[in-house]
Structure 1
């Protein structure tokens, strides 16, 4: 029986497991990290270290050399992947760059092509030991290339921006993007630790606190495309100050992993944070995608990752030329006295505006930006579940159309309070610039 390399068997099992699902492979696939780790071991096996050199050679240096060999433009796919890896500021080590490169190759269906270029570059292939390396053993090379060809025909949809922990681990954190409307302050207390920007606290009433998208223990990975990996104290504050009043796109790394446990590479750092801040409370994962339907009230649902409230739309009434909060207690009864049939609607409060959609027909009833809303509040009656807001029907010419009071009924007092607070905070924090 012909000898077998101990890495090829487990690699074949991982490839078959990835292939068996028949779907697109994402970062959450349970066998992805094992497959990548085995590919890494194949590339490191038999890699010889240079004599009289202080730099430890890793497989990333091999692919980087292939990029230098591309003098005629023949290796365009490889060159683009290598160049993208080299300029990524979230990577600090050769190990991290090599892992990032492998993920790029999988995403672009170019893994077998990259290995083929390596095998056809003698000057780089000589770095591998003929006695130990799979790449220089013809008997092992054929089954390896067959597996790489299978991987190159599979569909990988990987978040290549989620790479800040590749220096330490193949296991990646949950990464989300937090879109923030223009505001003066987001309202986060930050702590810089080991080149990471941790969130310690959210200021009550701030945009971050109201949005409920981010929680203490999470890490700010980037702001508007600027990486905060290995950042110095105060760097995030400088960026946020420079972008004050502008829309923000904040990349967030969650302290909680895909399986609900603490993300393992963060255990020691979170322990240090708690030692320094005994009152630190790691909040629940605020990303609504992770919450099961059994954890949400029946009066809430998810739409594009946001919590949407299911309420009763009671109707609206014209209240004249004044839309201040003082008119609500008189305006709401005007709507109720109409005795219009109520509709079950979805009230979706987005970053800059709210929409009301008929739950049964999915027909959008209306949409209002927060600056159009003049006031919002609850009706002072025994059950306190009726709330309303006043809005100019035509904001461009409010003097000719007047204001309308739009009324709803929530399922509970608490939910009524939450909705009113979210609408109020929406037009409090939203700013429009000319």
Structure 2
């Protein structure tokens, strides 16, 4: 008669709780972390250690030795093992094992890995047949049954968010920050134990205009290149090589989902504070004030504006045309259209307010000028190339908007102007 195994009972309960949630299991699912911890405990239970002081074994060490399968090409299982083994975001056997478990849940290959272990005697010897689950035939069968149930569940995980798996199952909030080519981003960086921290966002810089990066965040990748375990100056050297090119950063937020400091960061922040006593975590963009009448779409704050219309201004798109273009639009007295106005890192997006449907997008290189109507303090306009793909024959259109206040109007003008000012040298 098989002994009762508390870990299997707990895993069964964890699987049931996840299934009750309905829909795909994501990184924000409340029971995901505990499920992963249970799987890891089962894979470690009864794992025998070498007698002569060689490296300490973890479950990753048998995973990476599993047979690769047939000669017909990589299987989903072997591809997952290879991806975990070559991932630059993790550095330890624990991190690689955890990264594999997340890959395996999403790709439904964990049961296949355990079945392959059971058919490989030399690897099965890693486990004590008395105290383990994987080395005990009576316990292995119910464990495999639970894994097969999990293959029927859908997981939708951010598999790139892995660079804290060496330390914790708790993962940080991870975002992508894309910005235009510019002379200097305006981020002050400090290296702490292989992590690249942003310690300051400089005033009037591209990073401040973009309103994404905050002091305390970590640069995890630049254009797909990992900065995990970075040496001093590595990020700066990469940015120098990429000068004049669009940039894509993977950022790890210092603030977790609950608004508090992401707990695994605390030891790093302590060291950072010792190195830079003046360092402070930045809770929001410097110039954003409370109570601004912005909308919300996909986690981004947008301006609520009225689109008053547009007019063609011919082949000249300089600021001088605004003095006649804005009155021309206002004199038509056309019905205003409520829109959401998004000044992004590389472009301006305009959405229909009721539906959030995208109406148009204007990359900064297509914007030739922006300015305000002197007779009406809350009206502004900007000119765009009507045919940017044919610059020699292009004409310009002037788009006119009304904001809720003079302050908001000036804010939008400043942000748009900063956007194309940072790119004009490159265009």
Whether the 8 Å CA contact 2:222–2:250 is kept in 1: the answer is yes
Corresponding residue for 1:291? none
Q: 2:400 aligns with which of 392, 404, 407?
A: 407
SS in 2 for 1:192: strand
TM-score with structure 1 setting the length: 0.88
Corresponding residue for 1:307? 301
Bigger shift: residues 35-44 or 69-78: 69-78
Question: Is residue 2:341 matched to residue 1:341?
Answer: no
Q: Measured at CA, do residues 329 and 425 of structure 1 come closer, stay the same or move farther in structure 2, by a change above 3 Å?
A: same
Shift of 1:151: 1.2
Q: Measured at CA, do residues 85 and 284 of structure 1 come closer, stay the same or move farther in structure 2, by a change above 3 Å?
A: same
Distance of 1:230 and 1:363 partners within structure 2: 42
Distance of 1:75 and 1:365 partners within structure 2: 44
Whether the 8 Å CA contact 1:99–1:166 is kept in 2: the answer is yes
Corresponding residue for 1:270? 269
Distance of 2:15 and 2:261 partners within structure 1: 28
Gaps of 5+ in 2: none
Q: Measured at CA, do residues 143 and 354 of structure 1 come closer, stay the same or move farther in structure 2, by a change above 3 Å?
A: same
Shift of 1:412: 2.0
Report how many aligned residue pairs link the two structures.
424
Q: Measured at CA, do residues 392 and 116 of structure 1 come closer, stay the same or move farther in structure 2, by a change above 3 Å?
A: closer
Q: Measured at CA, do residues 195 and 357 of structure 1 come closer, stay the same or move farther in structure 2, by a change above 3 Å?
A: closer
Shift of 1:90: 1.5
TM-score with structure 2 setting the length: 0.90
Distance of 2:31 and 2:349 partners within structure 1: 41
Q: How does 1:193-342 map to 2 (within 5 A)?
A: 193-284=192-283, 299-318=293-312, 322-342=316-336
SS in 1 for 2:66: helix
Whether the 8 Å CA contact 1:256–1:285 is kept in 2: the answer is no
Corresponding residue for 2:17? 17
Whether the 8 Å CA contact 1:335–1:405 is kept in 2: the answer is no
Corresponding residue for 1:120? 119
Q: Measured at CA, do residues 30 and 424 of structure 1 come closer, stay the same or move farther in structure 2, by a change above 3 Å?
A: same
Corresponding residue for 2:87? 88
Distance of 1:376 and 1:111 partners within structure 2: 56
Shift of 1:427: 1.3
Q: What do residues 323-377 of structure 1 show as CA deviations (whole Å, max 9, x unaligned)?
A: 4334534543333333333222233334443344444587766554433333212
Corresponding residue for 1:380? 374
Bigger shift: residues 339-348 or 25-34: 339-348
Distance of 2:194 and 2:305 partners within structure 1: 45
Corresponding residue for 1:57? 57
Whether the 8 Å CA contact 1:254–1:285 is kept in 2: the answer is no
Q: 2:410 aligns with which of 407, 414, 417?
A: 417
Distance of 2:154 and 2:297 partners within structure 1: 27
Corresponding residue for 2:34? 34
Gaps of 5+ in 1: 287-294
Q: Measured at CA, do residues 355 and 71 of structure 1 come closer, stay the same or move farther in structure 2, by a change above 3 Å?
A: closer
SS in 2 for 1:7: helix
Whether the 8 Å CA contact 2:181–2:426 is kept in 1: the answer is no
Q: What do residues 58-82 of structure 1 show as CA deviations (whole Å, max 9, x unaligned)?
A: 1110111214x65756983332122
Corresponding residue for 2:153? 154
Distance of 1:53 and 1:209 partners within structure 2: 52
Shift of 1:54: 2.5
Q: What do residues 236-275 of structure 1 show as CA deviations (whole Å, max 9, x unaligned)?
A: 0111111111121111111111222111100121122233
Distance of 1:186 and 1:34 partners within structure 2: 39
Q: Measured at CA, do residues 431 and 182 of structure 1 come closer, stay the same or move farther in structure 2, by a change above 3 Å?
A: farther
SS in 1 for 2:308: strand
Corresponding residue for 1:103? 102
Distance of 1:120 and 1:176 partners within structure 2: 41
Shift of 1:406: 2.6
Q: 1:354 aligns with which of 331, 348, 355?
A: 348
Bigger shift: residues 76-85 or 10-19: 76-85
Q: How does 1:160-175 map to 2 (within 5 A)?
A: 160-175=159-174
Whether the 8 Å CA contact 1:245–1:431 is kept in 2: the answer is no
Q: What do residues 98-136 of structure 1 show as CA deviations (whole Å, max 9, x unaligned)?
A: 111111111110111111111111111112111111122
